[in-house]
Amino acid sequence: MGNTVTRDDFEWVYTEQPHCSRRKQILAKHPEIKSLMGPDPQLKWVVTAMVLTQVLCCFLVRDLSWKWLIFWAYMFGGCINHSLTLAIHDISHNVAFGNKDAMCNRLFGIFANLPIGVPYSISFKKYHVDHHRYLGGHGLDVDVPTHLEARLFSSPARKILWLFLQPLFYALRPLVVNPKPVGRLELLNLMVQLAFNAFIVYLWGLKPLVYLIAGSLLCMGLHPISGHFIAEHYMYLSGIETYSYYGPLNYITFNVGYHMEHHDFPSIPGSRLPQISHDWAGAQPPVGPPTWETGQANQ
């Protein structure tokens, strides 16, 4: 557990991220893929049901002992909250109401944020645009760990600690790597979240709020659902930076595992991403990283 990794630096490349050129080549060959783009009319109802489920859980856990509160936060509530973060990911691509109603998507993202306990939906949108545009770009893509993280967490034991602390790094890394001004919608996100948190405490006391926030933190860290953080963009093969995962966790994560497909076509809702692999399995061009045609994926 104490052995450190052998490499001492990131792999540096000086070509553009491949997904833009891949998208053009794929659509030139298969323009019918465009039929999958556009809003998912079911997403808003699924997300609303998840938010209401967590509100109901707040009522149910109000009198639990602390140990059972944390147990259910990890085993159930946190799973819903993690799934909601991935719903917010989809909403950030305007697939809840479509590109013509961008503000409705932003406001709905704030609504989906409520059970998570910490306001982040609007900030996520702001930085996620850069993640797609500058994938892996130094100082631009804040999903990439810093050099300090790489040096400090270089052994298996320390990497486990890093996974446990993932929520902390995920929240603080943008402020260090690529700080941006706070916008009005972020302030609205903050005020709405604080009002919701205060309302929960007023109705049922502190325990339900702890249930929500603890679930979010625990299930964003050392938890099976958090495996997608590692599976998506951590390099397993030289020169290949995006990977897909086709396992059962996709059923509760809005198909975030179909990550190569998502970066190729970010306007396609998660609910339709499996159709790309199924209907156009030979669609992508022969150049670039292997993907959903050649089977370079995590199972």
Q: Domain spans of the chain?
A: 38-234
Average pLDDT, rounded, for the chain: 87
What's the pLDDT at 285? Answer: 43
Q: Which amino acid is present at 153?
A: F
For residue range 118-174, list pLDDT tens digits in order: 999 999 999 999 888 888 777 888 888 888 888 888 888 998 898 888 888 888 898
Tokens coding 272: 């339709």
What is the pLDDT confidence band of residue 64, given thresholds at 50, 70 and 90? very high
* pLDDT for residue 176 is more than 50: yes
Burial of 239 (0-12, 13-18, 19+ CB in 10 A): exposed
What is the pLDDT confidence band of residue 290, given thresholds at 50, 70 and 90? very low
**Average pLDDT, stretch 274-289?**
57
Q: What is the dihedral of CA 162, 114, 228, 139, to 10 degrees?
A: -60
Q: How far apart are CA 163 and CA 26, in angstroms?
A: 35
What's the pLDDT at 248? Answer: 93
* pLDDT for residue 42 is more than 50: yes
Residues in the chain, overall count? 299
**Average pLDDT, stretch 177-203?**
97
Q: What are phi and psi of 245, to 5 degrees?
A: -125, 130
**Average pLDDT, stretch 263-272?**
95
Q: Secondary structure of the chain: what % helix, strand, coil (to 5)? A: 60, 0, 35
Nearest alpha-carbon partner for 291 in 17, 22, 35, 37: 22
Give the HSE-up count for residue 233: Cα atoms under 13 Å, Cβ half-sphere: 18
What's the pLDDT at 295? Answer: 39
- Percentage of residues of the chain with pLDDT beyond 70: 85
